Homo-oligomer: A and B are copies of this chain.
Amino acid sequence: MHPTDSELEILNILWANGPNNVRFINEKLNQKREVGYTTTLKIMQLMFEKGLITRDDSNKTHIYKSNIKEGKTKQSLLQNFVQNTFNGSMKALVVEALGEGSSSKEELDEIKRFIKSIQEKEQ
């Protein structure tokens, strides 16, 4: 089950900050863009119904928690994106990713260093 963009935004906040209430999430979201409180609440309620998140409702203020794994989720989203956009070829994606414009020079260097570290590890 794939989260939508809005749901992913919320999941990212939960993954980075751990379980939290709606107000916290909403404030984090509002650091990026304007969102009404009840909008965030509604989306999180729907996410709860979908099973994307769980909640502790033993207190007035409910505490929400991600119910799906960050790594698995992102890997699945990536898989899906590669399928749709690059006909399933991860290489085509990497070619585009390492091509001009996509990343800063610093990040490119960092990526190359990472690749190198894999290669060394495996030999």
Q: Is A94 an interface residue (CB 8 A)?
A: yes
Q: Which interface class (under 10, 10 to 19, 20 to 34, 35 or more) fits A?
A: 35 or more
- Tell which of A20-28, A55-63, A84-92 binds the partner: A84-92
With A8-B84, A84-B5, A119-B112 as known contacts, state yes or no: A78 contacts B96, CB within 8 Å: yes
Q: Report yes or no: A75 in contact with B94, Cβ–Cβ below 8 A.
A: no
Q: A8-B84, A98-B118 are in contact. Are A90 and B74 (CB under 8 A)?
A: no
Which residues does chain B contribute within 8 Å of A89, judged by CB atoms? 107
A residues with a Cβ closer than 8 A to B are: 5, 8-9, 12, 71, 74-75, 77-79, 81-82, 84-87, 89-91, 93-99, 101-103, 107, 110-112, 114-115, 118-119
